Amino acid sequence: DTEVTQTPKHLVMGMTNKKSLKCEQHMGHRAMYWYKQKAKKPPELMFVYSYEKLSINESVPSRFSPECPNSSLLNLHLHALQPEDSALYLCASSPLPGQATEGETQYFGPGTRLLVL
C-alpha cells in the first residue's frame, strides 16, 4: 500500500479565514512534505519534516504554518491567505529521507485544490 490521503479535496476560503489541510500516511514513512503546485507547473517544495522535525522551510510566508503531530500525520494551517495562494497543495511522504536511494522516492497524495477569494 503506497497511499497518502489528503483532506479536504477542495477548499474555498476568504482572506480572513483560518483553515487547515490534513495529510495522512500509514506506510511507516519517516519524511513528509508539503508542496504547492500551480497549473501546468511542477510542484514547488514548501516544507519537509524528517523524523517529525521540521528540516526544510523554503522561505514560506508565515501565513502557512506546518505541523507534524506524529509520524503519520501532517497538517498545514492557513491564515490570512492571499488570492495568489490559490493552487493545488500536495502532500508527499518517503521512507528514509536522504538515505539509501529507493528510500528517497516520494509518494504523493491526491492534493487539495485551494481557492482564496
**Does 45 engage in binding with other proteins (CB under 8 A)?**
yes
Please give the C-alpha separations between residue 115 and each of 58, 68, 96, 97, in angstroms, as whole numbers: 22, 24, 33, 31
CA atoms within 13 A on the CB side of 76: 31
**Does 111 engage in binding with other proteins (CB under 8 A)?**
yes
Instruction: Tell which positions 13-32 bind other proteins, by CB under 8 A.
Output: 31
Q: Which of 21, 48, 68, 81 lies at the binding interface for other proteins (CB under 8 A)? A: 48
Q: What share of the chain is helix, strand, coil (3-state, %, to 5)?
A: 5, 55, 40
Selected range binding other proteins among 14-22, 62-70, 72-80, 96-104, rule: CB under 8 A: 96-104
Residue 42: CB minimum distance to other proteins, A: 4
Asked if 110 contacts 25 with a C-beta cutoff of 8 angstroms, the reply is: no
Which positions touch other proteins (CB under 8 A)?
Answer: 2, 4, 6, 31, 33, 39-43, 45, 48, 50, 55-56, 88, 90, 92, 94, 97-102, 104-111, 113
